[in-house]
């Protein structure tokens, strides 16, 4: 059900929120008096305010639907993109700087995939450079690893 709402209003959520807020403000000021467009009837003030609140509520629900859908969506790089490192084998010792190369099946959007350094002794991960993808189903990046502590690093 959430997917249905997010597909229909993918670009309109902000517009719905803004129009709803504008209607609420319009009713609070009894129309646009400064351009001689007042709302003089009390019932119309309540109708405009109610419609505004409904639009703000709808926009909020749609925005939350997008958040929940993005949290629940499957984001599995192995299945979706099949990204592999070909320049090093898992657990090979490496020195800095290192050029990583590999291949992929489906090209991800720019800004989605970064090299990550893992420090086993500290159980920490460090985000490094973005992978550069080429149309021939290969990728590369060059990263510096470590922070001068001389702890061993591994590629994976």
Q: Give tens-digit pLDDT for 18-56.
A: 889 999 999 998 988 888 888 889 999 999 999 999 999
pLDDT tens figures, 67-81: 776 655 555 556 678
Asked if 81 contacts 131 with a C-beta cutoff of 8 angstroms, the reply is: no
- pTM exceeds 0.75 for this model: no
The pLDDT of residue 48: 92
Q: Kindly write down the DSSP assignment for every residue of 13-76, as one continuous string.
A: HHHHHHHHHHHHHHHHTTEEGGGTEE---HHHHHHHHHHHHHHHHHHHHHHHHHHHHHHHS---
Residue 75: the pLDDT is 54
Dist CA 152 CA 149 (whole Å): 9
């Amino acid at each position: 059900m959430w997917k249905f709402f997010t597909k229909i209003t993918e670009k309109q959520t902000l517009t719905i929120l803004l129009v709803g807020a504008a209607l609420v403000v319009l009713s609070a000021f009894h129309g646009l008096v400064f351009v001689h467009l007042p709302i003089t009837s009390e019932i119309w003030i309540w109708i405009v305010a109610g419609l505004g609140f409904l639009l703000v509520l709808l926009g909020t629900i749609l925005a939350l639907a997008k958040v929940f859908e993005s949290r629940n969506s499957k984001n599995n790089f192995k299945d979706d993109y099949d990204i592999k490192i070909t320049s090093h084998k898992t657990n090979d010792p490496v020195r800095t700087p290192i050029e990583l190369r590999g291949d992929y099946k489906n090209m991800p959007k720019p800004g989605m995939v970064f090299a990550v350094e893992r420090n086993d002794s500290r159980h920490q991960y460090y985000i490094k450079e973005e992978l550069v993808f080429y149309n021939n189903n290969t990728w590369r990046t060059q990263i510096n690893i470590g922070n001068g502590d001389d702890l061993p690093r591994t590629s994976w």
